[in-house]
């Protein structure tokens, strides 16, 4: 005769055995998942840190920039424990596009590009050169042109259109009441020497260049050229860093840049000193930019 109690005990016992086996299986599954998760985590962890790209304004040939900025880039890499690659462009326009595309992690650009990058793209101020940018306008020594006002109806030579000096001189012309391109003809040269040579030859009435170049070329002392205008000093080149760079690394880089100038590295940064950027440091640049944009819109 069928014993209900017995059957229930057997059923209870079977359930107990089933629960016990279920616990073992679950335990193994848990352990397997844990190991798999650990393995996956280990596999997804990058083997190395992606390199940062330092974009340097192409105020010199790319190879010269590489030579000058190589030691600095190496210092950055060491500081960040991450590879930093130096990049530039062949033209100012291309570089401008690169900034616009935010392809660089770190920027070292002239004031106008700096303002543009910080104001319109995801870059943050990092440090600026601790010296001013002086733009001057020189004319031939025997030229009748002695002041900005004499440029009316003449053509002057300037660096490429997007160069900082060009913007500063144009701004000065505007301040003088001369409309660049209308009252004063503008001819952009690819390099400073050709512009100065054209001035000396009388092809242009004057040439706008950074002030430091005059000392290097000794064109003033030899009496062949004369400074007819000196623009108000503006803050010089500056480092900016993209906001995607972690803050700790931004801080590391800033500390590195601010520590430059002691001659510990060769090339650029060996003797140049940098300071932190104040928000008002480039106000006049922003103003000039606005002026020139307005002028251009007109």
Partner 1 sequence: MSLRSRIAVTISVLEMALIAAVLTITLNHSMEGVEGQISSSQKVTIDLLGDLSKAALITEEFDELQTFINGTERDPNIQTVMIGDVDDRVIAATNNDMLGAVMPDLEDSGDRYWRRIDIRGVHSELGSLAIEFSQAPLREAYQYTLKIGVMIAIIGTVVIALAGWLMGHVLTRRLWSLAVAADKVACGENDIRVFLPGCDEVARVGRAFNSMVDRLDENMSALQASRDRLIKPTEAISEGFALWGMDDRLVLCNGQFRKIFGSIEPDIEIGMHHERFSTLIHERLVVRKEEFEPPNNHQDVVRAREIELASGRWISLCEFRTPDGELVGIYTDISARKATEETIRYQATHDALTGLPNRALFGQQLEGALSEATISDKQLAVAFVDLDRFKLVNDGLGHKVGDDLLVAVAKRLQTSIGTEDVVARMGGDEFILILRGLTGIEELQPRVAQILEAMRPAFPVGGQELHVTASVGVSLFPNDGENPDQLLKAADVALYRAKSGGRDRWQLMNRAVDGAAFEQIVLESQLRRAIDLGQFALMYQPQVNLRTGDVIGVEALVRWHHPEWGVMPPEQFIPLAEETGLIYDLGLWILRAACEQHRVWREAGLGHLRLAVNMSPYQLKRGNLEKDFHHILNETGMALDRLEVELTETALMQEGETTNLLQRLASVGISVALDDFGTGYSSLSYLRRFPIDRIKIDRSFVRDISGSQSDGALARAVVMLAHGLNVGVIAEGVETAAQLSLLRHFGCDEAQGFLLGEPVPGNDLPSMIEERNRPPLERVALAAV
Instruction: Enter the DSSP assignment of 252.
Output: H
Edge to edge, the sheet with strand 135-140 lists: 185-188, 155-158, 206-210, 135-140, 225-230
Length of the chain: 298
Alpha-carbon distances of 237 from 35, 107, 174, 177, 225, rounded to whole Å: 52, 10, 23, 28, 27
Shortest CB 62 distance to partner 1, Å = 4
Helix (H, G, I), strand (E, B) or coil at 34: helix
Question: Which one of residues 77, 224, 259, 291 is an interface residue with partner 1 (CB under 8 A)?
Answer: 77
Q: Is 73 in the site for partner 1 (CB under 8 A)?
A: yes
Shortest CB 260 distance to partner 1, Å = 15
Shortest CB 69 distance to partner 1, Å = 8
Q: Is 124 in the site for partner 1 (CB under 8 A)?
A: no
Question: Which one of residues 13, 14, 49, 85 is an interface residue with partner 1 (CB under 8 A)?
Answer: 85
Residue 135, beta-bridge partner list: 210
Shortest CB 66 distance to partner 1, Å = 5
Would you give the distance in Å from CA 280 to the centre of its chain? 19
Nearer to partner 1, 59 or 282 (CB): 59
Q: Is 130 in the site for partner 1 (CB under 8 A)?
A: no
* Cα(220)–Cα(130) distance, integer angstroms: 25
Nearer to partner 1, 65 or 277 (CB): 65
Would you give the distance in Å from CA 40 to the centre of its chain? 37
Convert 238-256 to b/e letters by CB count within 10 Å (16 or more is b).
bbbbbeebeeebbebbbeb
Q: How many residues bind partner 1 (CB under 8 A)?
A: 22
Q: Which listed range, 10-18, 82-90, 172-180, 207-215, lies at the site for partner 1 (CB under 8 A)?
A: 82-90
Would you give the distance in Å from CA 132 to the centre of its chain? 18
Q: Build a one-symbol-per-residue string for 248-267: x at contacts with partner 1 by CB under 8 A, - elsewhere.
A: -------------------x
Question: Which one of residues 71, 185, 233, 270 is an interface residue with partner 1 (CB under 8 A)?
Answer: 71
Phi, psi (degrees; rounded to nearest 5) at 58 = -80, 55
Would you give the distance in Å from CA 134 to the centre of its chain? 20
Nearer to partner 1, 36 or 78 (CB): 78
Shortest CB 267 distance to partner 1, Å = 8
Q: Which listed range, 77-85, 192-200, 202-210, 211-219, lies at the site for partner 1 (CB under 8 A)?
A: 77-85
Shortest CB 48 distance to partner 1, Å = 13
* Cα(129)–Cα(239) distance, integer angstroms: 9
Q: Build a one-symbol-per-residue string for 134-163: x at contacts with partner 1 by CB under 8 A, - elsewhere.
A: ------------------------------
Helix (H, G, I), strand (E, B) or coil at 173: helix
Helix (H, G, I), strand (E, B) or coil at 171: helix
Residue whose C-alpha is closest to residue 49's, from 78, 75, 83, 77: 83
* Cα(105)–Cα(148) distance, integer angstroms: 40
Q: Is 65 in the site for partner 1 (CB under 8 A)?
A: yes
Q: Is 60 in the site for partner 1 (CB under 8 A)?
A: no
Question: Which one of residues 19, 35, 89, 253 is an interface residue with partner 1 (CB under 8 A)?
Answer: 89
Contact residues: partner 1, CB under 8 A: 58, 61-63, 65-67, 69-71, 73-74, 77, 83, 85-90, 94, 267
């Amino acid at each position: 005769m069928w014993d209900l109690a017995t059957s229930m005990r057997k059923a209870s016992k079977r359930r107990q055995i089933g629960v016990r086996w279920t616990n073992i299986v679950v335990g193994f599954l848990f352990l397997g998942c844990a190991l798999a998760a650990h393995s996956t985590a280990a596999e997804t962890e990058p083997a190395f840190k992606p390199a940062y790209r330092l974009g340097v304004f192409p105020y010199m040939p790319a190879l010269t920039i590489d030579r000058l900025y190589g030691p600095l880039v190496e210092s950055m890499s060491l500081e960040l424990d991450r590879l930093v690659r130096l990049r530039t462009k062949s033209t100012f326009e291309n570089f401008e596009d690169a900034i616009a595309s935010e392809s660089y992690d770190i920027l070292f650009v002239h004031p106008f590009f700096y303002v543009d990058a910080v104001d319109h793209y995801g870059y943050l101020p990092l440090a600026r050169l601790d010296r001013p940018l002086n733009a001057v306008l020189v004319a031939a020594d025997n030229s009748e042109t002695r002041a900005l006002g004499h440029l009316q109806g003449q053509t002057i030579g300037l660096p490429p259109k997007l160069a900082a000096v060009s913007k500063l001189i144009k701004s000065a012309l505007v301040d003088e009441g001369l409309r660049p391109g209308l009252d004063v003809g503008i001819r952009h040269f690819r390099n400073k020497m050709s512009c100065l040579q054209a001035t000396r030859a009388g092809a242009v009435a004057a040439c706008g260049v950074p002030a430091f170049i005059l000392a290097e070329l000794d064109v003033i002392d030899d009496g062949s050229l004369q400074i007819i205008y000196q623009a108000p000093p503006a803050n010089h080149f500056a480092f900016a860093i993209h906001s995607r760079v972690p803050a700790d690394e931004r801080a590391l880089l800033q500390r590195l840049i601010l520590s430059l100038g002691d001659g510990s590295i060769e090339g650029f940064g060996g003797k140049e000193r940098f300071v932190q950027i104040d928000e008002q440091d480039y106000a006049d640049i922003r103003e000039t930019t606005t002026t020139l944009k307005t002028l251009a819109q007109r």
